[in-house]
């Protein structure tokens, strides 16, 4: 049976892959004269990708808590994992909030290019947070071997 702590690294790849693609797709929608909340194919695709990235980030944070507990049990000091854990929570909340507000604005039929540009910029900031979180996670795995089974 799969170790529950190993589900976290599987899930983190969804927001890492989907968020940049969502932002590029939304930029295409914006440069094409529409808004992020319009009914165009690129706007709807960008929103769907953003929702999937947010779902992945939230699930990664949930399973990250399990991995965190497992690492503590194996003797990894909490101080080594704090930055990654805090940034992971922030990333999941920020990405989930961004997606939720975009869906709400889409449902309200908002037609503001200025607001769309602001949301695209906010998405880039969230991407920077997600990438920073990933960097700290990589440090935990590759430098400290957190939750990695050592070979014989």
Q: pLDDT tens-digit profile of 50-81? A: 999 999 999 999 999 999 999 999 999 999 99
Residue 93 domain-assigned (yes or no): yes
Residue 151 domain-assigned (yes or no): no
Do residues 82 and 135 touch, judged by C-beta distance below 8 A? no
Residue 152 domain-assigned (yes or no): no
Do residues 78 and 5 touch, judged by C-beta distance below 8 A? no
Q: What is the pTM of this model?
A: 0.93
Residue 17 domain-assigned (yes or no): yes
Provide the pLDDT for residue 3. Answer: 84
Provide the pLDDT for residue 110. Answer: 92
Give the DSSP H/E element, type plus range, for residue 138.
Answer: helix 113-138
Residue 150 domain-assigned (yes or no): no
Domain encompassing residue 61: 4-144
pLDDT grade for 24, boundaries at 50, 70 and 90: very high
Provide the pLDDT for residue 151. Answer: 55
Residue 37 domain-assigned (yes or no): yes
Do residues 63 and 4 touch, judged by C-beta distance below 8 A? yes
Residue 149 domain-assigned (yes or no): no
User: How many structural domains compose the chain?
Assistant: 1
Q: Is pLDDT at 91 greater than 70 in this prediction? A: yes
Residue 127 domain-assigned (yes or no): yes
Q: How far, in Å, CA of 93 to CA of 108, rounded?
A: 22
């Amino acid at each position: 049976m799969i170790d529950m702590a190993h589900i976290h690294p599987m899930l983190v790849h969804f927001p890492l892959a989907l968020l940049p693609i969502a932002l590029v797709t939304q930029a295409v929608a914006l440069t094409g004269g529409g808004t992020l909340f319009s009914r165009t194919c690129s706007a709807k695709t960008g929103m769907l990708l953003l929702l999937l990235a947010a779902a992945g980030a939230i699930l990664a944070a949930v399973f990250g808590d399990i991995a965190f507990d497992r690492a503590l049990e194996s003797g990894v000091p909490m101080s080594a994992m704090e930055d990654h854990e805090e940034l992971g929570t922030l990333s999941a909340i920020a990405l989930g909030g961004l997606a939720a507000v975009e869906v709400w604005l889409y449902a309200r039929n908002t037609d503001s290019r200025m607001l769309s540009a602001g949301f695209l910029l906010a998405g880039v900031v969230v991407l920077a947070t997600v990438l920073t979180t990933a960097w700290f996670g990589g440090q935990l795995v590759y430098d400290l071997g957190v939750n990695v089974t050592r070979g014989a």
